Each structure stands twice: as structure tokens, then as C-alpha cells.
Structure 1
């Protein structure tokens, strides 16, 4: 399994990333999210990281259950794109439901969540067009 831990600047992190543990954040406010299940999600994340030379933006992995992968996009991005079957989208104007996504801290014990790819100043969000292209392969 591929996992990137981009070297992060100790003085920089998005305000929606908790300082320790993990916290729930509402989609559509600080970010939108695309969710892909299990092995397919891991394959999409690994390919995305490869194409982005290791700096793909924030991808959160659940360590239990269906092992969902959450790809965090800039607010408003999820509704601007058509997504392939099996890809669930959360956030954006016009959603009738409120969805919370668990966000781990950059360091420390965050089980059962972990960063598969961390946000960085250069990639604070996953590139939606690139993700859509990779997820559609």
C-alpha cells in the first residue's frame, strides 16, 4: 500500500485540520469530498499520488469497515463535475443533506483515520479534474 506523508511546514496547516486526534467537519464549508470504497479507492489514490509526483492533496483513509477513501476538494468543486458510478460526492450548494467527514490531525494518534496523502501549501485540495479522470479509468 502506498502512503505519502508530505513533509509539512510546522507553521502551516489548513484551519479545518485538528491539532490532535480527529474531528468531524461539515462538507461544503471548508472542502467538498468524494468517497470511493476500499481497494478501488486505494488504487485511485495511489495513481493520483503517482501522477502528482507525491503531492496529490488531502486524501483521508478509514482503517476499519469498508476502508473508504475520502478525497478532499476545494469547496464547490464536487458539483462542477460528472463522477463515475461508485463514486459518492458530498458538499456544495444545493445539497439537501448535511454530511460530516472525519478529519485526522497531521501528527499523533488519529486511529481509525489516517492521511493517505496530506494537504500541503502547494496542494491544499485534490485537483478535481485529475481525480475525475483517474477515477474514471
Structure 2
């Protein structure tokens, strides 16, 4: 399974996701780090992603080429991440046929009804369980 982790700004969320994916799935998956900037991409690569690319074109080109996309809910919202996530990036992610696992952080003024406010590590655990179910419970 090829998984794209999308993050921006400092890359801390992407780093945490990549680390957890690598611990849980090892080399069973290929992780593509897609950063809105080079810093975010570099941090995800350092955390265990197989490949990485930065910027709008990298996300637009690669979003349709992966099996699953994971990141904060802002990756489907134009101009989120303090404007780093462009409308074209959000469109590419939203229109990708890949499954999407979105972490409901309310930093982008998007609030999801029915979701409790939890610390980031709890949301990442839930995301890992979703991915595990997509992979057939391995």
C-alpha cells in the first residue's frame, strides 16, 4: 500500500504520523511525504518516509497516485495551514480516488460534529486503526 502523508508549516503532525505508520506497519507500506514546504517534507523523511516532495505541484501530481492520503482535516480546505495549502492542493486531495484518513484538528476553523477534542496522539491511533482495517486487519 502506498500512503501519502501531507503536512505543512513545521511538519510536526506529519512527523508523528510517519513515525507511527513506520512502527505499526514497518516496510509493509510505502510512505510518500508530501509537504507544503521543504521543512515539513524533510522532517517527514527524517522520520521514516520512503520518498518526499514539496510544494503545490508535488501534491497535485502525487495525490491521484497513492492508495491512501492521511493528514489533518485542513488538507481538503483551500488556504488552510496559514495559507500554505493552496486551492489546487485542496482540490487535488479532495478529488483523489485514494481513501482519505483525516485527523480532525480544529486549527483551520473546521469543526466536525460528534468528534471529541482529543490530544493528537489519540487521533493518530484512531487513524492507524482505520488504515489497519483498510489493509485487511493485518
Indicate the structure with greater helix content.
2
TM-score after normalising by structure 2 = 0.31
